[in-house]
Amino acid sequence: GEDVEQSLFLSVREGDSSVINCTYTDSSSTYLYWYKQEPGAGLQLLTYIFSNMDMKQDQRLTVLLNKKDKHLSLRIADTQTGDSAIYFCAETVNDYKLSFGAGTTVTVRA
């Protein structure tokens, strides 16, 4: 199946950690991605994880993958105002296509 689900909104205080969750349905997905979209802009690839990994860390970003539950999460440590954006989870459908979630709007409050 091709159905990626995310919660629509997340509000977090500046300096706290943000955790954005995603569930997917296709157990054969080889890669899972997180993209960031700032207002009025295109999507920027933040990070990705190969399906045989459980965790990937890149500076303030930590991706956790639970293949059994088909659950992907993105943790942003020390959230800053510049992290306010829409975050999209995506899974590979085949060699050509990705399936995207609806996006989680993260609002960072002072």
Partner 1 sequence: SQTIHQWPATLVQPVGSPLSLECTVEGTSNPNLYWYRQAAGRGLQLLFYSVGIGQISSEVPQNLSASRPQDRQFILSSKKLLLSDSGFYLCAWKASSETQYFGPGTRLLVL
Nearer to partner 1, 12 or 32 (CB): 32
Nearer to partner 1, 43 or 53 (CB): 43
Can you give the binding site for partner 1, defined by CB under 8 A?
31, 33, 35, 40-45, 48, 88, 95-98, 100-103
Nearer to partner 1, 65 or 103 (CB): 103
Q: What is the closest distance, in whole angstroms, from the C-beta atom of residue 83 to partner 1 in the complex?
A: 19
Helix (H, G, I), strand (E, B) or coil at 81: helix
Surface-to-core class of residue 85, CB atoms within 10 Å of its CB (0-12 exposed, 13-18 middle, 19+ buried): buried
Q: What is the closest distance, in whole angstroms, from the C-beta atom of residue 102 to partner 1 in the complex?
A: 4
Cα–Cα distance for residue pair 4/15, rounded to 1 Å: 29
Q: Tell me if 106 sits within 8 A of 20, measured CB to CB.
A: yes
